Amino acid sequence: MKIATMLAGVLALGLAVSPLGLSSAQAEGLDFLKNVKKSEKPYKIGFSNGFIGNAWRAQHVEGVEKTAAELKAAGIVSDVVIVNSTSGASGQISQINSLLAQGIDALVVNPVSAEPLMPIVQRAIDSGVLVVVADNPLPMENVLNVSLNHTQYWGIETEWLIDAIGGKGNIVAIEGLAGNTANDWRVRARDEVLAKHPDVKLLASVPGGWDQAQAREAMAGLLAAHGSDINGVLIQDVMSEGVIRAYKAAGAALPPLTGDYVLSYFKLWKSDPDLVSATVANPPGIGSDSLRIAVELLEGKELDTSKLVPNPLNPDYSNTILISQPYVVEREANTSRSWCTEETQCISLDEAMAKLDGQSDNAALDKTLSQDEVRARYFK
């Protein structure tokens, strides 16, 4: 079954955003745990990142590097070998083969695309390696997915944009990397929200590759095709500044748009009181969190199965930790929004900027867990 078909079915059932844990019956037979107790400390772990083309991914990897250094200093790991693919699925497959040849105890992988990576991940499992999948889940039984809630990410932004344009009108969308699991998951979440709002029409949806230059070019094409008919722009992360540049180059007034959660965008937003925007922070620290969870499993800690939810791509598998998006940012905090919770905080633009004080302009609003927090939240 194709990934897109499985994901559509999951979203239709509402399983991708389920906050409930599994019953004891569902939690039985967690096949991803079969390779847990075959290693001794210090552990050697491989981290495979399937895409390195933007600041988010750079921060994602930097977080893993910092956590790896901490774990190495504590004597828990001997090494965390980090590899980044710049040539898509083929490059990532080759790099994972190399990691396996180095005798790793666990593989933490953020796959560039699900289907091409599944055979090499299965090879890792068959060779006795624990596999933890970071952020972009795999529809496989023998892995533990640690994923951000991408239904929440673009679902909230879509709801916000619909409200910002008054519940009716025309929007366009700039997607991320075509074929990427998280991107496809988000697109289906957007479409589910739009289906509930027949007075809002999606004029066009095009890929921007999570790249400012590509997003600017894509938005220029949308402006040429639709011009003033566009009442709002729905944009995934890392690309909003490119979209704004396209509008300025065209001499067109900016409509409400979803923004980015990096400091440079916050500064731009702050400087323009007429810019109507909001953003959901999608934390790059998910890589660090996934590494810490892998270490706890290698240490033989007992996973709290009540924290598991069905696999976002195949609900027949009970093997996913779904991490909520930590912040929704508006110019003024609106804590009355339906999506505001203890785990997903609704904060103001000023509060978001304060959290990034002293950091570089491309720093993303992030939230990561310490080893103690991982242990307390997900283990018994």
Residue whose C-alpha is closest to residue 298's, from 379, 377, 370, 376: 379
At 232 the pLDDT is 98
pLDDT at 223: 98
Which residue blocks in the chain are alpha helix, DSSP H? 3-13, 24-27, 55-73, 88-101, 114-126, 150-164, 181-195, 212-226, 240-250, 263-271, 286-298, 349-355, 371-378
pLDDT digits (tens, 9 = 90+) for 161-191: 999 999 999 999 999 988 888 899 999 999 9
Domain with CATH 3.40.50.2300 in the chain: 3-149+283-323+368-378, 150-280
Rounded CA gap, 175 and 144, in Å? 27
pLDDT along the chain (380 residues), means of 10: 44 40 47 79 96 90 98 97 94 97 97 94 96 95 95 97 98 93 93 98 97 97 98 96 98 97 98 98 97 96 94 91 96 97 96 97 95 95
3-state secondary structure of 194: helix
Question: pLDDT at position 180, please?
Answer: 86
Q: How far is CA 232 from CA 60, 154, 157, 224, 277, in A?
A: 30, 14, 12, 15, 10
For the entire predicted model, the pTM comes to: 0.86
CATH label, 3-149+283-323+368-378, candidates 3.40.50.450, 3.40.50.2300, 3.40.50.1100, 3.40.50.300: 3.40.50.2300
CATH fold label, 150-280: Rossmann fold (3.40.50)
pLDDT, residue 361, reads: 96
Query: What is the pLDDT, as a whole number, of residue 14?
Result: 41
Q: Are 146 and 292 in contact (CB under 8 A)?
A: no
> Which of 292, 266, 279 lies closest to 329 in space, CA to CA?
279
Q: Which residues pair with 110 in a beta bridge?
A: 49
pLDDT of residue 6: 43
Q: Are 89 and 112 in contact (CB under 8 A)?
A: yes
